[in-house]
Amino acid sequence: MIANTDISAPLYQFAHGRTGDKGDRSNISVIAYDARDFDHLVAHVTEDAVRALFAARQPRTVKRYVVPSIQAMNFVIDGVLDGGVNDALNLDTHGKALAFLLLGLPIPLPPRLAGGAS
């Protein structure tokens, strides 16, 4: 059976996230709920996808670190906190809500859910 890649769902259905910050840098971890989905998440939650998602915040850089041993990725995003806690007029100067933005990223269903191989 061929997987249906036309169907997507928000990332939060397959992973959870944590956010930290230092100055104008935010780091967002994405941790797969199910290890079977990790490779699929790595394929779709890329630096380019995150850069596009955060385009309105004009990040200077987006760097992804993949940690397969715990089915996680960490994204380090520079320039998304309006200068950081002491400089920003933004209500969320710590960037805690940025994990929610990332977890809303639509991704194709993993093969095991889209009718493909598990």
pLDDT tens-digit map of 47-61? 999 999 999 889 999
What tens digit of pLDDT does each residue of 4-45 get?
Answer: 557 899 999 999 999 887 777 889 999 999 999 999 999 999
Give residue limits of the domains in the chain.
15-107
Cα separation, 38 vs 51, in Å, equals 20
**Percentage with pLDDT > 70 across the chain:** 80
Q: Residue 75 in contact with residue 49, Cβ under 8 Å?
A: no
- The CATH class of the 15-107 domain is alpha beta
